[in-house]
Amino acid sequence: MKRRKLAAMTMGTILGLSLILSGCGSDTEPITEPESRMNPTMIKMVEVDEDMTMVRSDGKVQSNVNGEWVDPEVNERKPVAIMINNIGEAMPQSGIGNADVIYEMIVEGGITRLEAVFTDYSGLTKIGPVRSARQYYVRNAEQLDAFFVHCGTSILADTELARGKVVNLDAMGTVGNYMTYRDNSRVAPHNLYTSEEGLNDALDYIDANLNHRDGFSPMFIFNTENQDLEGGQTANKITTAYSNYRAPYFEYNSEDKQYYRFQYGDKQIDDQTGEQLKFQNVLILFATTYSTDGYLMEVENVGGGAGGFYATNGSYIPIKWVEEEGTIHYYTEDGKRLKMNPGKTWISYFDIANQEGVTFE
């Protein structure tokens, strides 16, 4: 790909554009303006290989997980991915409204389990219920270079964890004494939780390197501000019917431009806030799904999938997904990297053989 030479520019002003066209001393030097005219949201474009990192005039950058403006150190730190129980007996869940990304994938018996990904869990005293690992959830954590938190495994998950590509925090081990606790107001196994204090104690106990691996390639790229999709089709309601009895859905609210989550015939609530889960972005990814032994499931969330959909702001477009540099990247049909809107993201992996289970209204 031909390398692009970019200069800093003041977004939204013709003055900044004219200064660029008149030339400047360096491809990466910011254009200086009198302090009284400086736009506090001026963006400087810095080229990194074939991608670009957005840097604001106050030094903040876009989070590579949710697209919000953060200190650069935030992008250097691994997120935390936590396995969450998602059956009826586990409702309402706790703390997951703070997650930046939530995955939903099928497990045994046609039910689903969630994986909640946090870049910031500060102030949370109850996150869960925490449940056991499956190998495709381990791979999600690998692709995000996240710490992986769970309670127990499966045979196939053990095989994936043995590859050593993710820092594994299993509450069944000694680290669980630092990381998790039981809420006796609920019945096991739906009563195991973690917290800010527990996660930090666990990371201290294993003396974890908190920063991303060398060469980490972020999964997402974002628009600098919210944008409608070009050529998108209507997506005011999105249903993901995994089975006749498992059909969660999202309803779009045009006032705040968020997708609100429903399951089991009701709103999906975080009991720590009393608020319904809501998301700026919804990704539906088709993948080959099957049982390896008549019981344990496999979801092939590696290599490249059979496409999918991206929904935001009440519309959706078809997309492609592929594993590159150890993570998943998303592309529009014309081969360009998908730029998502800043905000929280829901990701549903869905069986390629059941594409009719995904409907848009």
Question: What's residue 145's pLDDT?
Answer: 98
Q: How many helices (H) and strands (E) does the chain have?
A: 6, 29
Q: Which residues of 40-63 are buried (b: 16+ CB within 10 A; e: fewer)?
A: eebbbeeeeeeeebbbbbeebbbb
> If we measure between CA atoms, which residue out of 90, 82, 83 comes closest to residue 271?
90
Q: What is the rounded CA–CA span in Å between residue 332 and residue 319?
A: 5
When computed from its CA atoms, the radius of gyration of the chain, rounded to whole angstroms, is: 21
Burial class (CB in 10 A: 0-12, 13-18, 19+), 10: buried
Tokens 């606790």 belong to: 181
All residues at 6 or more sequence positions from 37 whose CB lies less than 8 Å from its CB, including other chains: none
With beta carbons less than 8 A apart as the criterion, state whether 223 and 340 touch.
yes
DSSP 8-state assignment for residue 240:
E
Return the number of other C-beta atoms located less than 10 Å from residue 276's C-beta: 17
Q: Which fold has domain 221-360?
A: YerB-like fold (3.50.90)
Measure the CA–CA gap between 329 and 219, rounded to whole angstroms. 5
Task: Report how far residue 1's alpha carbon sits from residue 166's, in angstroms, rounded to the nearest whole number.
Answer: 32
Q: Does domain 80-205 have CATH number 3.40.50.2300?
A: no
Cα 345 to chain centroid, rounded: 5
State residue 14's pLDDT score. Answer: 33
Residue 130 main-chain phi, psi, to 5 deg: -85, 135
Whether 80-205 and 221-360 share one fold: the answer is yes
Reported residue count of the chain is 361
Q: The pTM is what? A: 0.87
* One-character DSSP codes across 93-114: BBSGGG-SEEEEEE-GGG-EEE
Burial class (CB in 10 A: 0-12, 13-18, 19+), 336: exposed
Give the pLDDT of residue 36: 37
Positive or negative, the CA dihedral 158, 120, 177, 187 is: negative
Dist. CA 101–CA 116, nearest whole Å: 6
- The domain ranges of the chain are 1-59, 80-205, 221-360
In the chain, the N- to C-terminal Cα span, in Å, equals 39
Neighbours of 169 (CB within 10 A): 28
Block means of pLDDT (10 residues each) for the chain, 361 residues, are: 34 36 38 41 48 79 96 96 96 98 95 97 98 98 98 97 97 97 94 98 98 95 96 98 93 98 97 98 97 92 92 98 95 97 98 96 98
Residues in Cβ contact with 1 at an 8 Å cutoff, skipping those fewer than 6 apart: 50
